[in-house]
Structure 1
């Protein structure tokens, strides 16, 4: 298992892992249980990230999926990105359960969960890279192809991306703590290069060329597009680079290529968990970043309206419910409460009445 996931499991109050035990040659300092305060903080962080990521990605994915227009390749990649980020967010609830109660589902499901987490990690990064390549082709190369050809190519590429993401996660099945240091170092180095470094170089290159082309144009759309591109690249680098650097340092320490003591090891363990949380945060902000990058004004306004509605609706329902209960005579309390409000959706949808009934 990866150091971060294994750290979380071993640091939980009740670890129930039989097959996975630390290698005394690489983990000489051992593990100490997390302080209760640290457990609470991690659980809160994982829960907040999970809720925001699931909510945001579901909303953006639904809007894209229900679009009556033929989807551009970047829309297809963005939809797949919402799936990857949403699945990654779902796995965080298992981490919360492991931190609070220990891992109770056995070694196989532990390993399977870690594969799912890693696969969605790398799939998310690769789909971000695909979006950057598509933006480069559209803006710089001005490449327009037949819609049917676009649809077929994007579907094939999505399948390839998912297969590649799963392939990068599969070494989890073979990386055990008793394998040779050279093999461990080779596998982890391969994952770091093809799971992060290559996609990052491609993304930065595509967006750099795209920005240079936008500098030659004029108008408001140019400035908005440039701001969005810079924000996307900066967010990706700020949230992902610390985790990848920390993982490289961890590999070097485990391979005994760098002199270290137990204090250094414990500090690195803390850094691994902290930077892991930082990387997970990227699954939350992806929907917001790509809503800002949305070129279709109607779709962008619809998503923004739905975001506002979903944030305000619980407050609205709570306020209506409190006022209703206060106005009731307890002896005449009825079991039915109905209220209606109307939402006008501008994205080629007819006005709809939404009725909420509490029985």
Structure 2
């Protein structure tokens, strides 16, 4: 079996009852769902992550480990969000932009997956030290903060390394129908040999599920369970409010990522076994839908990890206040153009006031 036939078997499979089974039967329905949800994720994710980055750039500097990790999470999510319009376009127009777009966009998702998940695990670790090990946390976190940028660099390098197979093997493939005519052009894995295909079809999803989900889930589970137990013992109203924050973080993470990763494991397990046509069609459709649900996490992250914190919300309100003032002064300056420079200087100064506090934006 050559590489093109090997790739085609992902879209078409044999079934004892039905002969050739078309794995693209739900394509039009899926395309409609994808376009609507991708557009929503793009709009909300772009706004949220830009506001996070703008807040750190102009209103508060990244002063501790959690802040540095949050900036990198926002960068990773923004990278993927900016790729979504191109993904929508190519999905609707049969990857007319060619192989480079196929590799770049698929690689972008892979890099975002690994980097954001590992960074969220790092945030949970930092919160664990700050709350559970509060008595010794200052010295530990002070030393760790020196290496926080190094940790982020290592995570980005690891994410890029783990995404190399995606960049290599994702290609634009022309699918043919039973008459040998080109039916559709898709962006999918294409392997050089059958042996490579067998290895990669197991290795890639296994790596994605383990490194991109289960390792962060285990770290977050241990850290946040310990945090919850510590907070519940504290006789403090603010601490008990923080319990709801922690529960929201964990529940949203599980709801977004667990369905897709469980289905991916099931699909990988049954990959080389005979499957009924209808069952295979349903699991591929479910995989694509749950993958979109997993994408939602990149626009929920700013809400959970940034805006839910009191200090960060105050900075966000400051942004809105300064934008409102700048807008009013801009329109006023249109009527009194000779006062333009005088009107702009005070707003500029108020926008860049230094924050002398040093709490985490994901404060408990």
1:217 to 208, 216, 234: 234
Distance in 2 (alpha carbons) for counterparts of 1:80 and 1:234:
22
**Would you say the 8 A contact 1:302–1:345 is kept in 2?**
no
**Would you say the 8 A contact 2:228–2:243 is kept in 1?**
yes
**Would you say the 8 A contact 2:129–2:141 is kept in 1?**
no
Q: TM-score, normalised by structure 1?
A: 0.75
- Cα distance, 1:42 vs. partner? 2.0
2:7 to 9, 14, 22: 22
- Report what 1:161 is aligned to: 155
- 1:162-216 Cα deviation digits (max 9, x unpaired): 1121222222225644434244213422331122111101111100011111122
**Would you say the 8 A contact 2:260–2:287 is kept in 1?**
yes
Q: Does residue 255 of the first structure (1) align with residue 272 of the second (2)?
A: yes
Distance in 2 (alpha carbons) for counterparts of 1:133 and 1:113:
30
Q: Does residue 235 of the first structure (1) align with residue 252 of the second (2)?
A: yes
Query: Where do residues 40-189 of structure 1 align in structure 2 (5 Å cutoff)?
Result: 40-68=32-60, 71-142=63-134, 143-145=137-139, 149-172=143-166, 173-174=168-169, 176-177=190-191, 178=194, 179-189=196-206
Question: Which structure has the highest helix share of the two?
Answer: 2
**Would you say the 8 A contact 2:11–2:23 is kept in 1?**
no
- 1:235-286 Cα deviation digits (max 9, x unpaired): 0000100011111122123222xx4211111111210111011001111111
1:270 to 279, 285, 298: 285
Gaps of 5+ in 2: 14-20, 170-188, 355-364
Query: What secondary structure, in the 3-state scheme, does the structure 2 residue paired with 1:145 have?
Result: helix
Number of aligned residue pairs: give it.
310
Query: What secondary structure, in the 3-state scheme, does the structure 1 residue paired with 2:270 have?
Result: helix
User: Which structure has the higher relative contact order (CA within 8 Å, separation 6+)?
Assistant: 2
Query: What secondary structure, in the 3-state scheme, does the structure 1 residue paired with 2:7 have?
Result: coil
Distance in 2 (alpha carbons) for counterparts of 1:87 and 1:41:
22
- Cα distance, 1:345 vs. partner? 10
Report the CA distance shift for 1:88/1:336 in structure 2 as closer, same or farther (over 3 A): farther
Q: Does residue 300 of the first structure (1) align with residue 313 of the second (2)?
A: yes
Query: What secondary structure, in the 3-state scheme, does the structure 2 residue paired with 1:254 have?
Result: coil
**Would you say the 8 A contact 2:322–2:350 is kept in 1?**
no
**Would you say the 8 A contact 1:60–1:82 is kept in 2?**
yes
**Would you say the 8 A contact 1:27–1:254 is kept in 2?**
no
- Calculate the aligned-residue CA RMSD, in Å: 3.5
Query: What secondary structure, in the 3-state scheme, does the structure 2 residue paired with 1:88 have?
Result: helix
Q: TM-score, normalised by structure 2?
A: 0.74
Report the CA distance shift for 1:347/1:221 in structure 2 as closer, same or farther (over 3 A): farther
Distance in 2 (alpha carbons) for counterparts of 1:345 and 1:288:
28
- Report what 1:9 is aligned to: none
**Would you say the 8 A contact 2:59–2:353 is kept in 1?**
no
Distance in 2 (alpha carbons) for counterparts of 1:180 and 1:19:
11
Q: Mean alpha-carbon deviation: is it higher for 146-155 or for 54-63?
A: 146-155
Query: What secondary structure, in the 3-state scheme, does the structure 2 residue paired with 1:83 have?
Result: helix
Q: Mean alpha-carbon deviation: is it higher for 35-44 or for 66-75?
A: 35-44
Gaps of 5+ in 1: 1-17, 322-334, 351-359
- Cα distance, 1:84 vs. partner? 0.6
Report the CA distance shift for 1:25/1:209 in structure 2 as closer, same or farther (over 3 A): closer
Query: Where do residues 23-38 of structure 1 align in structure 2 (5 Å cutoff)?
Result: 23-24=8-9, 27-28=12-13, 29-32=21-24, 38=30
